[in-house]
Amino acid sequence: MKNIFLVGMPSSGKSTLGKRLARHLAYRFVDTDKLIIRKEGGRSINDIFQTDGEAYFREVESWVLHTIKPGSRLVVATGGGMPCFHNNMAYIKETGFSIFLDVAPEQLLDRMLRHNLDDRPLFNRQDPTLLENLRQKYTDRRFFYTQADLIIPGETAVEELSKQIEMYL
């Protein structure tokens, strides 16, 4: 039973869909940001970025990814940047089935402004250039995200997704 990795931009719905998919398949669910926070003794993602910098965060992020045991019936919601650093996307592809949740920057912006989630150091809701930032990151990161085994639109229902992936698991 391959682990399933959800990749994509922040706010694309990895954590939300990941939990639903895990329930549907009777898999366990993990969120790599939560694993990082636990490893760092409960510090927030913002605190890690501010105190130790992004490079340190990316080290821990990659370390955490490598602690995920292959074949353990897990749905893994990754952090938005994870596939784009170190050799993470290669490791994800080697050890699991990967799904890119493809959501356009305009829709990501809409979700970010609608929902009050402030633990995203790279995407500030008060920033007037947030849309530009999302567009730039989306363009830069697509190279990595599109290496996923499957690409789906963000609003895909869990029943439909389960049907699409059952033959790969």
Ligand X SMILES: Nc1ncnc2c1ncn2[C@@H]1O[C@H](COP(=O)(O)OP(=O)(O)O)[C@@H](O)[C@H]1O
Ligand Y SMILES: O=C(O)C1=C[C@@H](OP(=O)(O)O)[C@@H](O)[C@H](O)C1
Q: Which residues are annotated as a binding site for substrate?
A: 33, 58, 80, 141
Residues 72-131 contacting ligand Y, CB under 6 A = 79-81, 120-122
10 sits near ligand X (criterion: CB under 6 A) = yes
Residues 12-51 contacting ligand Y, CB under 6 A = 14-15, 33, 45
Cα Rg of the chain (Å, integer): 15
* CA 118 – CA 2 distance, rounded (Å): 33
Instruction: List the beta bridge partners of residue 152.
Output: 101
Which residue blocks in the chain are alpha helix, DSSP H? 14-25, 32-39, 45-66, 88-95, 105-114, 130-145, 158-165
Please say whether the beta carbons of 8 and 103 come within 8 A: yes
Residues 15-54: x where in contact with Mg ion by CB under 5 A, - otherwise, as a string: x---------------------------------------
Judged by the rule CB under 6 A, the positions of this chain that interact with ligand Y are 10, 14-15, 33, 45, 79-81, 120-122
Judged by the rule CB under 6 A, the positions of this chain that interact with ligand X are 8, 10-16, 77, 111, 115, 154-155
Judged by the rule CB under 5 A, the positions of this chain that interact with Mg ion are 15
